[in-house]
Chain A
Amino acid sequence: MAAYDASVRSRRWHTLLMVACVAAAMLLASISAEVSPVRFLENIHRFPSYIIRLFHLENGQPVWTDFGEWFWGLGRWLRQLWETLLMAYVGTLLGAAAAACLAFLGAANVAPSRWVRVTVRRFCELCRTVPELVFALLFVIAFGLGPMAGVLAVVIHTLGALGKLFAEVVENIDMKPVEGVSSTGAAWHVAMRFGALPQVMSNFVSYALLRFEINVRGAAVMGFVGAGGIGQDLIEAIRKFYYSDVSAILVMILLTVAVIDSLTSLLRHRLIGLEGKN
């Protein structure tokens, strides 16, 4: 019993010490982040009132009393939403295609040489660690304001993220088909095409679909830095306090994201089903 008490006590101390460390870290962080409970308490009532304001029209009526007034810019927003979706689509497809090529160069089991592999890996790391929006800011300088900067930012980020995932998929393949094709004297790219690609294709598509979901969300905020899509109108509405516009655009984005998510998950399940049948 004494030993039990001692063990419990030592564990308690351990826990206490950890809690103290976390609390100290939070305290230091809150000094640095200028956290002020007073300011928070003084202003917190504005959070619910802001949310409530979002759902009221200019004339003070709740938004659902007049859909025509709430979604007055429907045509314009739908066009921008379509542009956002196209940005995500083009970005995902181009990024995934590039990532699929790089993955074979970056996978440990099939890479033609160590140097190529390390370079490809580092390149992918760079592409996904620098935030998308930073690339977008840089591309806006180079390509001017507009969706192209946004698409390229999405491409770069997708390339980085998928390059890593795809390479891991390739590392997990069965090497026998590749060896079989190589043994007939086929070149490296032929061995990859007929030995490796059939094994990884369904995983690639599934990851690319997941990435598409993420990119739709990403493309929706690209407009914040002037890189196209619906974000442009959203940030303008927020900055200029067009409350009902903010909620209208947000509702449209949320609905689109939900629809895209369920469509892609449907597709992915179909894909997995197909794989099971073969």
Chain B
Amino acid sequence: MDAVRDRYPEHFRRFGPQRLPMIVVASAMLALLLYGMEVLGFFDGKLLSGMGRLVEIAGLMMPPDPGSWAHARAYGMALIETVAIALLGTLSAAILALPVGLLAARNVTAQRIVRFLARRSLDTIRSVDILIWALIWINVVGLGPFAGALAIMTSDIGSFGKLYSEAIEAADRKPVEGITSTGGGHFMGIRFGILPEVFPVLVSQVLYYFESNTRSATIIGIVGAGGIGLHLAEAIRTLELQQTSFIILMILVTVAAIDLVSSQLRFAMIGRRAGATA
């Protein structure tokens, strides 16, 4: 053993000089963590008492119970509204984002200034949180699910525009060249050369976003933009904890169901495409 230790001293050293930067970074991160926890109030005893109360709250949440039939019905309707908001927002964004996505794609839009503007505006739209969009739309069309649908639409135009333009840029150039060579114009090239190729990708993205938007649609109600969130926030704030857990359970079941349906649909789309090309 000693012979091995003598022969390869570098493997037995505890902390070699090459680990020094790693240690410095790690301790800096730890220091920032401790400082942050201090600033955010982790060390003034609130954490422990809060944990106790949290356990108590979790106990009070069991079993999930809507309270009354009328409540359960209202929650059901609100949940349908939530899904409707998500569906409407996602689909309208999917349609509206197509022209913007084309404008932002390098192989479609030659003018650099147009492309730049399209991209920057998509970036700006995306960096504003969906809840902020909901608040803005509430100021425009008033409280209610309509504002929620518009908020999801706005925020998704940003995401879809970016995803579309990336999908379009990744598309094969040959079909477009083929169409241009037969005398087709720029527009023809896009319609018959690019769109058929990227369509399945776009649809699968849209389905994926529909799932995540159902989740977002459950929270925009908290600021008053319709859906189940309003009931949820109300139940939590009035400490109706059994109703709270019932609503959360309903949301989880709905999200799981939509997850299942949309992944089935996605596989069906991709499968059919693969079958068609084979």
Query: What size tier do the contact residues of chain B reach?
Result: 35 or more
**CB-based nearest B residue for A82:** B39
A89 and B236 form a contact (CB under 8 A): no
Q: Using a CB-CB cutoff of 8 Å, which residues 22-63 of chain B contact chain A?
A: 29, 32-33, 35-37, 39-42, 46-47, 50-51, 53-54, 57
- Interface: B80 (CB within 8 A): yes
B84 and A32 form a contact (CB under 8 A): yes
- Interface: B114 (CB within 8 A): no
- Interface: A12 (CB within 8 A): no
B32 and A35 form a contact (CB under 8 A): no
- Interface: B4 (CB within 8 A): no
A residues near B72, Cβ cutoff 8 Å: none
A residues near B41, Cβ cutoff 8 Å: 146-148
Knowing A22-B91, A28-B84, A131-B219 are in contact, say whether A139-B54 is a contact too (CB < 8 A): yes
- Interface: A120 (CB within 8 A): no
- Interface: B252 (CB within 8 A): yes
Binds B, one of A169-177, A182-190, A216-224: A216-224
- Interface: B85 (CB within 8 A): yes
Q: What separation, in Å, do the CA atoms of A239 and B142 have in the docked complex?
A: 12
Which of A43, A129, A225, A239 touches B255 (beta carbons < 8 Å)? A129
A residues near B248, Cβ cutoff 8 Å: 130, 134
Binds A, one of B105-113, B133-141, B159-167: B133-141
Interface centre among A25, A44, A50, A148 (most CB of B within 10 A): A148
- Interface: B104 (CB within 8 A): no
A residues near B92, Cβ cutoff 8 Å: 26
Knowing A148-B47, A224-B222 are in contact, say whether A35-B40 is a contact too (CB < 8 A): no
- Interface: A3 (CB within 8 A): no
Task: Scan A121-149; emit 1 where CB is below 8 A from any B CB, else 0.
Answer: 00000100111011001110111101110
**CB-based nearest B residue for A217:** B129
- Distance (Å) between the CB of B205 and the closest chain A CB? 15
B residues near A4, Cβ cutoff 8 Å: none
B124 and A254 form a contact (CB under 8 A): yes
- Distance (Å) between the CB of B263 and the closest chain A CB? 14
Knowing A32-B80, A36-B146 are in contact, say whether A148-B50 is a contact too (CB < 8 A): yes
B residues near A257, Cβ cutoff 8 Å: 127
Q: Using a CB-CB cutoff of 8 Å, which residues 218-270 of chain B contact chain A?
A: 218-219, 222-223, 226, 232-233, 236-237, 239, 244, 248, 251-252, 255-256
- Interface: A106 (CB within 8 A): no
Knowing A36-B146, A147-B41, A235-B135 are in contact, say whether A26-B222 is a contact too (CB < 8 A): no
Task: Scan A36-53; emit 1 where CB is below 8 A from any B CB, else 0.
Answer: 100110011011001000
- Interface: B149 (CB within 8 A): yes
A225 and B40 form a contact (CB under 8 A): no
Which of B32, B83, B129, B144 touches A89 (beta carbons < 8 Å)? B32
A residues near B237, Cβ cutoff 8 Å: 137
**CB-based nearest A residue for B49:** A143
Q: Using a CB-CB cutoff of 8 Å, which residues 181-236 of chain B contact chain A?
A: 215-216, 218-219, 222-223, 226, 232-233, 236
- Distance (Å) between the CB of B271 and the closest chain A CB? 15
B131 and A221 form a contact (CB under 8 A): yes
Task: Scan A67-104; emit 1 where CB is below 8 A from any B CB, else 0.
Answer: 00000000000000001001101100110000000000
- Interface: A34 (CB within 8 A): yes
A129 and B215 form a contact (CB under 8 A): yes
Main secondary structure of the interface of B (DSSP, over half): helix
- Distance (Å) between the CB of A119 and the closest chain B CB? 17
Q: What separation, in Å, do the CA atoms of A137 and B234 have in the docked complex?
A: 10
A46 and B91 form a contact (CB under 8 A): no
- Interface: A178 (CB within 8 A): no
| Residue ranges of A at the interface with B (Cβ–Cβ < 8 Å) | 22, 25-26, 28-36, 39-40, 43-44, 46-47, 50, 83, 86-87, 89-90, 93-94, 126, 129-131, 133-134, 137-139, 141-144, 146-148, 151, 217, 220-221, 224-225, 228, 234-235, 238-239, 250, 253-254, 257-258
Beyond A35-B146, A224-B223, 9 additional pairs, beta carbon < 8 A:
A32-B81, A89-B36, A139-B50, A143-B47, A221-B132, A234-B132, A235-B135, A238-B135, A253-B127
| Residue ranges of B at the interface with A (Cβ–Cβ < 8 Å) | 29, 32-33, 35-37, 39-42, 46-47, 50-51, 53-54, 57, 80-81, 83-85, 87-88, 91-92, 124, 127-129, 131-132, 135-137, 139-142, 144-146, 148-149, 215-216, 218-219, 222-223, 226, 232-233, 236-237, 239, 244, 248, 251-252, 255-256
Report 30 cross-chain contacts, Cβ distance below 8 Å, ordered by A residue.
A29-B83, A29-B85, A29-B87, A29-B88, A31-B84, A33-B146, A39-B146, A43-B141, A83-B39, A86-B39, A90-B37, A94-B33, A130-B252, A131-B219, A134-B236, A137-B232, A142-B54, A144-B50, A146-B46, A148-B41, A148-B42, A148-B50, A217-B129, A224-B131, A225-B233, A253-B127, A254-B124, A254-B127, A257-B127, A258-B127
Q: Which 7 A-B pairs have the closest CB atoms?
A: A143-B50, A32-B84, A29-B84, A86-B36, A33-B145, A142-B54, A90-B36
